[in-house]
Structure 1
Amino acid sequence: MTTTLITGATRGLGLETARRLAEAGHTVYLGARDLERGQKAAEQIGARVLQLDVTDEPSVQAAAKLVREEAGSLDVLINNAGISGPWKAAGDFTAADMETVYATNVFGLVRVTHAFLPLLTASSNPVVVNVSSSGGSLTRNSDPTTGEYALGILTYASSKSAVNMVTIQYANAFPNMRINAVNPSLTDTDFTNVVSPGPTPIDFTEMGIQSVEEGAEIIVRMAVIGADGPTGGFFEADGPVPW
């Protein structure tokens, strides 16, 4: 039986990924800040709720202790929890804005990964999937013809660039694990119910964005790779994403 933990899994891509993996036979721990909300979501898809706030060290340590006691090891860690932060022009962002977004998207990811590394090393085929974004691609952000260039959200985009580097560093340090970043692409979630303030403002609500089921596809695909699968990469549905 494959044991899987997904952070930020009470809605959107996290919940859909949890549903798909539970259907595939995984024992899924559904990470949730709100235990009541998490319990309702877990019951709907046949998962186990795990109270987990990625920004709180005692919460993460307690979650790791519970999984260690119940399962003994962890096969798949999906670092999905993330926030977009405020949407405004680059010159209007403050250090406090950066700290808030990085606390979840970057520091939270590292906090959870660090706490669960002993359980991952106890697995025969450990896999880590870090949910990133093409908004963190330096290549695409440097190209005025791309949607990423037009996105123009300083805090979120830079936090995902940091996630990509963290992914590479972990993959280099743990060659026996499969550790990758993924880009679900523009998906119909709370994240996209906004108008981007970037160089070319984008009203996401007027775009034909993909469903949550489509967005979760690359997360699920990378969660079930074997020991001979790629590591240290950045992938979307159509293949590698340029760094």
Structure 2
Amino acid sequence: MDMRNKTVLVIGGSRGIGAAIVRRFAGEGAQVTFTYAGSKEDAQRLAAETGGTAVHSDASDRDAIIATVREAGSLDVLVFNAGVLVAGDPLTLDPDAIDHLIDVNVRAPYHASVEAAREMPEGGRIIVIGSVNGDRMPFSGLAAYALSKSALQGMARGLARDFGPRGITVNVVQPGPTDTDMNPADGELAEQMHSVMAIKRHGTAQDVASLTHYLAGRYASGITGAMHTIDGGFGA
């Protein structure tokens, strides 16, 4: 699928899954801009490696994320990958931390998607990286995180209806345990996660990037309002 001359914006692209997505699209010839919040050095290295453009933007700031999307101009593809995780007893978690999670995981992808659609050409693609935890939560302490990932499902279904007449697709990619610095394959919780998986290993960021790339391509023009789980059977 030829991505040459396609304009792509990846929100949250400096590390992990986001960086793999940047590399995949840039490697296919797309003009890629990606945002970062706190990983300036990682972002600079990735921009030098891929020829992409790194932009500092705080996904928890509604006005900032809208401005970032607007300034990127007419996009062929928006990938929203930014996200935060807050874990613990809901009776003792800091309410401000939960509100921050909702700002980044729910409000930001909604506003970014709407802003991108304003100038997006016919046949554009909006892809949000969610989580299998939107479907299944087998562990305690992650209620707010699961809430935020389930919210993306309703958002994608609704926006798919809203933007469908223009041929713009809206999809959610739902990874399970994926080997990144935030969730390493040899981390202390790996055995617990693998215990509920059919394929008992972490996936890779490249796997997620490949699925995202497919959904952005011409052969996915009829796929919209859908959840695409890539989790090694975590949710089976």
**TM-score, scaled to structure 1:** 0.79
Secondary structure of the 1:231 match is: coil
Secondary structure of the 2:72 match is: helix
Structure 1 partner of 2:154? 165
Following superposition, the deviation at residue 184 of structure 1 comes to 2.2
Structure 1 partner of 2:50? 45
Structure 2 partner of 1:128? 126
Q: Is it true that 1:66 corresponds to 2:105 in the alignment?
A: no
Following superposition, the deviation at residue 162 of structure 1 comes to 0.6
Gaps of 5+ in 2: 195-199
**Alpha carbons 1:184, 1:217 under 8 Å: kept:** no
**Alpha carbons 2:9, 2:72 under 8 Å: kept:** no
- For residues 32-82 of structure 1, the C-alpha deviation after alignment (integer angstroms, 9 at most, x for no partner) is 2258432332111221122322222342243234322xxxx1110001100
**Alpha carbons 1:77, 1:128 under 8 Å: kept:** yes
Aligned-partner residue type, residue 82 of structure 2: A
Deviates more, 1:102-111 or 1:26-35: 26-35
2: CA distance, partners of 1:13 / 1:117: 23
Structure 2 partner of 1:115? 115
Aligned-partner residue type, residue 63 of structure 1: T
Aligned-partner residue type, residue 168 of structure 2: M
**Alpha carbons 2:176, 2:231 under 8 Å: kept:** no
Q: Is it true that 1:179 corresponds to 2:184 in the alignment?
A: no
Q: CA RMSD in A?
A: 2.7
1: CA distance, partners of 2:182 / 2:53: 25
Secondary structure of the 1:125 match is: coil
**TM-score, scaled to structure 2:** 0.81
Following superposition, the deviation at residue 84 of structure 1 comes to 1.1
2: CA distance, partners of 1:111 / 1:164: 15
Structure 2 partner of 1:144? none
Structure 1 partner of 2:212? 219
Identity across matched positions, percent: 24
2: CA distance, partners of 1:190 / 1:238: 17
Structure 1 partner of 2:202? 209
**Alpha carbons 1:183, 1:218 under 8 Å: kept:** no
**Alpha carbons 1:6, 1:28 under 8 Å: kept:** yes
Secondary structure of the 1:150 match is: coil
Gaps of 5+ in 1: 142-147
Q: 1:54 aligns with which of 41, 54, 59?
A: 59
Change (3 A) 1:235 1:227: closer
Secondary structure of the 1:10 match is: coil
Following superposition, the deviation at residue 217 of structure 1 comes to 2.6
Change (3 A) 1:52 1:97: closer
Following superposition, the deviation at residue 238 of structure 1 comes to 8.3
1: CA distance, partners of 2:84 / 2:39: 19
Secondary structure of the 1:229 match is: coil
Change (3 A) 1:187 1:169: same
Following superposition, the deviation at residue 116 of structure 1 comes to 1.9
Matched residue count? 219
1: CA distance, partners of 2:10 / 2:17: 10
Secondary structure of the 1:53 match is: coil
Structure 1 partner of 2:139? 150
Following superposition, the deviation at residue 163 of structure 1 comes to 1.0
Following superposition, the deviation at residue 159 of structure 1 comes to 0.5
Secondary structure of the 1:192 match is: coil
Secondary structure of the 1:149 match is: coil
Change (3 A) 1:46 1:27: same
1: CA distance, partners of 2:60 / 2:94: 20
Structure 1 partner of 2:77? 76
Following superposition, the deviation at residue 214 of structure 1 comes to 2.4
